[in-house]
Structure 1
Amino acid sequence: MKNLIVTITLPLTFLVVSLCGQRAVAENWQAWRGPRGDGTSSEKDLPSKWNGKTGENIAWKTAIPGVGHASPITWEDRIFTISTIEDTGERVLLCLNRKDGSTRWQRTVFKGPLETIHRLNSRASSTPATDGKLIFVTFLKVDGRTIPAPNVSAPRLITPGTILVVAYDLEGEKKWSAEIGGFISAHGLNACPVLYRDLVIINGDHDGDGYIAALEQNTGKVRWKIDRKNKTRSYVTPIIREIAGRTQMVLSGSKSVASYDPATGKEHWFIDGPTEQFVASMVYDGKLLFITGGYPARHILAIRPDGRGNVTSTHIAWRTNRGAAYVPSPIVEGSYFLIVSDNGIASCFEAKDGKRLWMERLGGGHSASTVSAGGLVYFVSDKGVTTIVRPGSKFDVVAKNELGERCTASPAISAGTIYIRSHKNLFAIRTAGK
């Protein structure tokens, strides 16, 4: 598989489940955007219709305490997510049973003052990651100061702090914790852990001295840490791929797009800009990398990832501004690149050359990142409406499904089930009887 992601190096990233008396192989969704870090799933028999109010194809729903925009992750029969209980200041890690959504255990990662955040962010936005042995979580731990917010249009005070990384085993026993560096942002934190070999890698782009840090998974000891060139907040989770004969960890942010060796932090190549701040993760189709962002200007770029050094003027295959997103991450499905803007306008492009095939309004704002399975693409709106689209030359809506609750977190897909976290509940959506 030439596009195989290398975020984890376990022998198996699959689980065997029993569906209708038959054994089937299903993927774990063990980190941000799933097993390949790009929102794609190999699942084929997912429901195309559900309804949160009538219960159609809702296997279960479980109330999640507190507030959080982190996505759920799965490993075999367990589901993990994080939350912040604002009344008590507790940042918690939860483990649920996949079968019925019952709580297996809940752990307080730490308890402390609440940080200042953007109104669209939460204090538990960083999706955890697991290798099947340990679960890694990140939170912002304030340091007690208040400072004027940098890089904002309206003056205000904010609470800086440090990025806290904590590892637990699958039974909820804490193994280690590490404060890896400072963090300053008026918008709060999002720093999803990325796993590579024996490392857990954290992007610490912020409005101070930004960095990327790689910690040893078993100990939390820093293996390497590199400085970022610009003091600008961004919230992008890197992807890792084998490209052009080398392992590349690629991300946008800090006024650039850059590729690094995840084993050492050494830079392969970079592109200046195209804008200041980024949130959405990038995707890769085996030939081109695709980014979208950001603030203050929106862009979509397709990048040839085989360069070295500054490739700003040589390796951009195509670009456009129309239809770009700030927060929702895009997806590649087959030969198509699909994206939804923050205000709910979906677009489909030919990935190879950027030819726009269609642009349609889905309705409502969109924060969740797009996922795909079985040749279909799933767009989840802030109102909890999922629009299922079949990619192609024409806009082909397969179904629209309502949960009846607001949703900001991105979906997870595993073992015939779509997991969607609303502002109140975690829903398990699977075909009745499976």
Structure 2
Amino acid sequence: MKRFLIAIPFVIVFLILFSCSSNTQNWTHFRGSDMNGHANVEKAPLHWSDTENVVWKVPVKGVGWSSPVVFGNQVWLTSAEEDGTKFYTFCFDLKTGKLLDEKILFTAEDPQRIHSTNSYATPTPCIEKGRVYVHYGTFGTACIDTKNFELIWKREDLPCDHMQGPASSPIIYKNMLIVHLEGTKDPYVVALDKATGETIWKSVRPKEIYDPLEPVYRKSYQTPIVISADGKELLISNSAYMCFAHDVNTGEVIWTFTYGYDSTVSQPLYWNGLVFVNSGWIFLDNTPFFTRQYAINPTGKGDVTNSKMVWMCEDEVPQIPTPVIVDGKMYMVHDRGMVTCLDAMTGKPVWKEKLKGNFNASPIYAAGNIYFINVKGDCTIIKPGETFQKVAENSINETVKAIPAFVGDQMILRTKDNLYLIK
């Protein structure tokens, strides 16, 4: 008994260390396992090129702007033919880059057109032990067994006129896979049973609000988050025209926040009791004017537009990249390269700095630094703080629109043509 009691602390320490180690080896969703742009790692690469500090590099068939997800020793990625006729999944070995599985999950004879800057495989998969879930918008949603690579279920009956192509990524929550299909007609969000693919609930945006809008102003490409507020589990969905907070278990709308019009892309954030949502383009006199970032108190009911706004910023707010919050400061990079550091509780600017190039990928905080990667593959790494502090600059010399994944002390980077493991 005495030996047993002495052994207990060592077992507990081992379990904690194993849990931490396991956590650093997984990257399960768009913008990380916690969907907040934070990598749970202690070390991360600081210097690389297309040849320097590259552990492996493998070509990726087709075109896709989806980000990689990682669980254990598997890296999963989606792609599609440039013309949208075939939709792929790939599984690579994390250590070697070896292709473990490749599938054509869906096909389309006459696919919808997409925006020239988008792809047919932009939504990022999500993954958990034994299962990976892939989504291509209206073209199909599926679940694959990660042990034997067999297809468990798929859905091809979730219609959406995307107009500019799919981009909203799915998320896992409890027994549900939640996907947004918000196009130019009857935009909606649906929760699927992740075990079977069957619909648990579906919430269509209110017709009395959306039908009077021009179809182009109804579409949305954002990825939601789930938070706990005021004793409720809320799905925060910053759709076109307004943000919805749903009871995530039933789909019931708890509150709404109106900002107006079109094409939300940037993902919501949650920090220190506040929800941060991006409006997408706001139009004045039919002309795209600006994008706004809002901080909202999420404890209300009904229309909270006037009662729960904490602050609003409209200066150099990005449309596509999602900001990241570190130590009470929000760091956002505008699509054209202006980085703004804001106080997250007040919205007041702390500093600004212009980076070269245009940006689609969201910044990621890893091992004490923030990584900003532009479309040309140039990465600026900074130290968060009261002033702009550049740590390093690197370039992969390829087009990058996907968010890198960080596991262990390594970075997995998807470019237009290749997948890299960098150390």
Would the TM-score normalized by the shorter structure come out above 0.5? yes
Q: Does the 8 Å CA contact 2:291/2:317 hold for their aligned counterparts?
A: yes
Q: 1:294 aligns to what SS in structure 2?
A: strand
After the TM superposition, which residues 30-45 of structure 1 pair with which residues of structure 2 at under 5 Å, given as runs? 30-45=28-43
Which one-letter code corresponds to 1:133 in the other structure?
A: G
Superposition pairs of residues 69-148 of structure 1, within 5 angstroms: 69-86=65-82, 89-113=85-109, 114-140=111-137
Alpha-carbon distance in structure 1 between the residues aligned to 2:322 and 2:49: 25
Write the mapping of 1:152-171 to structure 2, written as runs, cut at 5 A: 162-170=138-146, 171=148
% identical equivalent positions: 28
Considering only aligned residues, what root-mean-square deviation do their CA atoms show, in Å? 2.0
**Counterpart amino acid of residue 46 in structure 1:** A
Structure 2 counterpart SS, 1:298:
strand
Gaps of 5+ in 1: 1-11, 18-22, 141-161
Alignment of 1:197 onto 2:193: no
**What are the Cα deviations for residues 212-262 of structure 1, in whole angstroms up to 9, with x where unaligned?**
111111111101111113261101110112223221110211310111111
Aligned partner of residue 88 in structure 2, secondary structure: strand
Once residues 408 and 13 of structure 1 are traced to their aligned partners in structure 2, the CA distance between those partners, rounded to angstroms, is: 35
**Deviation, structure 1 residue 111:** 2.1
Which structure is higher in helix share?
2
Letter of the aligned partner of 2:144 in structure 1? Y
Residue 263 of structure 1 corresponds to: 249
Q: SS at the partner of 1:106?
A: strand
Which residue does 1:57 correspond to in 2? 53
The CA distance in 2 between the partners of 1:298 and 1:292, in whole Å, is: 7
The C-alpha deviation readout for 1:164-184, integer Å capped at 9, x for no partner, is 211111032111111343211
Report the counterpart of residue 24 of structure 2 in structure 1: 26
Determine which of 226, 239, 242 is the counterpart of 1:253.
239
Runs of 4+ deviating beyond 6 Å:
12-17
Secondary structure at the aligned position of 2:237 is classed as strand
1:183 counterpart SS class = coil
Q: What is the aligned counterpart of 1:363 among 330, 338, 356?
A: 356
After TM superposition, give the deviation of residue 185 of structure 1 in Å.
2.7
Amino acid across the alignment from 1:42: N
The residue type equivalent to 2:275 in the other structure is L
For structure 2, which runs of at least 5 residues remain unmatched after alignment?
1-14, 212-217, 282-287
| Contact kept in structure 1, 2:56 and 2:421, CA below 8 Å | yes
Q: CA deviation at 1:87?
A: 6.8
Match of 1:305 among 298, 303, 311: 298
Q: Does 1:351 align with 2:344?
A: yes
Deviations 1:103-151 (A, max 9, x none): 01101102223431001100111111112221111124xxxxxxxxxxx
SS of structure 1 residue aligned to 2:24? strand
Match of 1:326 in 2: 319
Query: What TM-score do you get using the length of structure 1 for normalisation?
Result: 0.86
Q: Output the CA distance in 1 between the equivalents of 2:296 and 2:361.
A: 24
Aligned to 1:373: 366
Partner Cα separation in structure 2 for residue 220 and residue 318 of structure 1: 39
Is the Cα–Cα contact under 8 Å of residues 254 and 276 in structure 1 kept in the other structure?
A: yes
Shift of the alpha carbon at 1:37? 1.1
Q: Distance in 2 between matches of 1:90 and 1:322?
A: 40
- How far apart in 2 are the matches of 1:14 and 1:291? 35
Distance 1:169 1:181, change over 3 A: same
Contact 1:165 1:180 in 2 (8 A): no
Q: Cα gap change, 1:88/1:236 in structure 2, threshold over 3 Å: closer, same or farther? A: closer
> Relative to 1, partners in 2 of residues 1:250 and 1:15: Cα closer, same or farther, differing over 3 Å?
farther
Give the secondary-structure state (helix, strand or coil) at the position aligned to 1:182. coil
Give matches, 1:2-17, under 5 Å: none
1:184 aligned to 2:161?
yes
Whether the 8 Å contact between 1:14 and 1:28 is mirrored in structure 2 is no
Indicate the residue corresponding to 2:5 in structure 1: none
Q: How does 1:221-240 map to 2 (within 5 A)?
A: 221-229=198-206, 230=210, 232-240=218-226
**Radius of gyration: which is bigger?**
2
CA deviations on 1:53-86 (whole Å, 9 max, x unpaired) are: xx22221111111100000000000000100134
The question of whether the paired residues in 1 share the 8 Å contact of 2:43 and 2:408 is answered with no
- Structure 1 residues 343 and 134, CA, compared in 2 at 3 Å: closer, same or farther? same
1:217 partner letter: K
- Taking the aligned partners of 2:333 and 2:133, their CA distance within structure 1 comes to 29
Which TM-score applies when normalising by structure 2? 0.88
The structural deviation recorded for 1:280 is 0.7
**Residues 417-426 or 83-92, more deviating:** 83-92
Counterparts of 1:199 and 1:344, CA distance in 2? 36
Residue aligning to 2:63: 67
Q: Does the 8 Å contact 2:145/2:151 carry over to 1?
A: yes
Rounded to whole Å, the distance in 2 between the matches of 1:218 and 1:425 is 32
Report how far residue 88 of structure 1 moved: 8.6
Matched pairs, number? 391
Task: Check conservation: 2:84, 2:120, Cα contact below 8 A.
Answer: no
Distance 1:87 1:349, change over 3 A: closer
CA distance in 2 between counterparts of 1:410 and 1:239 reads 17
1:273-284 to structure 2, matched below 5 A, reads 273-284=259-270
Correspondence 1:413 to 2:406: yes
**Deviation (angstroms), 1:263:** 0.9
Corresponding letter in the other structure for 2:201: W
- Structure 1 counterpart of 2:6: none
Q: Using the TM superposition, name which of 216-225 and 127-136 deviates more.
A: 127-136
